[in-house]
Amino acid sequence: MFVRTTVGGNLAATAGAFPGGPVFGVAVDPANENIVYAIGNASVFQSVDGGANWTDITGNIHADGAGTFRAIANIPSATGDRLAVGTNAGVRVSGAGSFGTWFELGTGLPNAPVWDLDYDATDDVLVAGTLGRGAWTIANVSTLGPLRVAIDIKPGGFPNSINPRSNGVIPVAILTTATFDATTVDPLSVKFGPNGATEAHERGHIEDVDGDGDLDLVLHFRTQETGIRCGDTSASLTGQTFDGQAIQGSDSIRTVGCR
């Protein structure tokens, strides 16, 4: 027995830019069925309440012209789920757990609209069906781009208050988790804040900052070199492990002393 529920009205009413026309694709997060994605004529939307309210996450997916999004698929990843979107000239996959970064997977695909997408978790393969050009496979999509890691700005306290006018340093911990060893990070590769400040002492130190029994990496960055400004609500870092794996992480901040 099938039960039909119409959620298009909610989507069109709350998404604003949604064209109210055809919905070309829908994907549901397998880990949280309340997270739903949908494709309209020229935009991609996310709902975190099962379809009652929608947010346009098109951002920098970069479709080639209006109305070229046609397929969508969710890619579960240990470092944060990814979203794959079929465009008029290939496939783009989001960064792990983030819609701020998208990777172009069109290399090797014909320059034709991608009309269908499906993900094989066993082999980590994304299958793309193109218009009149057959099906194509793209491998290793769950490990694209930087590995998202947990960080703690000014560990031991919250909120993470930062005075952008300070001449001091900001401690930042890269945390060891069940899936990542922070001691494998090269301290000299890490850059923090909008301006990419480097470690103030050209080294880091190892300690258990969160009291969970494993070792974390603590780094210090000169506030004036970070580029953090009054009103910023988060700060990020990038770097790589000693064996070359790129990493990125972010944490919330609160700026003070700005009046």
β-pair partners for 128:
117, 136
Instruction: Please state, in angstroms and rounded to a whole number, the distance separating the CA atoms of residues 190 and 186.
Output: 7
Question: For 195-209, what is each residue's pLDDT tens digit?
Answer: 999 999 999 999 999
Instruction: Residue 229: name the closest of 257, 203, 188, 200 by CA.
Output: 257
3-class secondary-structure state, position 197: strand
- Those residues whose C-beta lies under 8 Å from the C-beta of residue 227, and which sit 6 or more positions away, are 193, 194, 195, 196, 197
Q: In CATH, which of 2.40.50, 3.30.43, 2.60.40, 1.10.10 is domain 147-255?
A: 2.60.40
Rounded mean pLDDT, 125-152:
79
Instruction: Please state, in angstroms and rounded to a whole number, the distance separating the CA atoms of residues 28 and 36.
Output: 5
Residue with tokens 């991608």: 114
Residue 205 is predicted with a pLDDT of 95
Question: For 4-59, what is each residue's pLDDT tens digit?
Answer: 455 555 554 444 444 455 777 888 887 777 888 888 767 888 888 877 777 888 77
Residue 240 is predicted with a pLDDT of 84
Rounded mean pLDDT, 174-192:
91
| Cis check: omega of the bond before 159, within 30 degrees of 0 | yes
Mean pLDDT for the chain overall: 81
From edge to edge, which strands make up the β-sheet containing 71-75? 71-75, 82-87, 90-95, 98-104
Helix (H) or strand (E) holding 67: none
Residue 3 is predicted with a pLDDT of 46
Strands 216-222 and 134-139: unpaired
CATH numeric code, 8-143? 2.130.10.10
Please report, for the chain, the start and end positions of each structural domain, with discontinuous segments joined by +: 8-143, 147-255
Least confident interval from 56-65, 80-89, 215-224: 56-65
Quote the tokens at residue 87. Answer: 């465009």
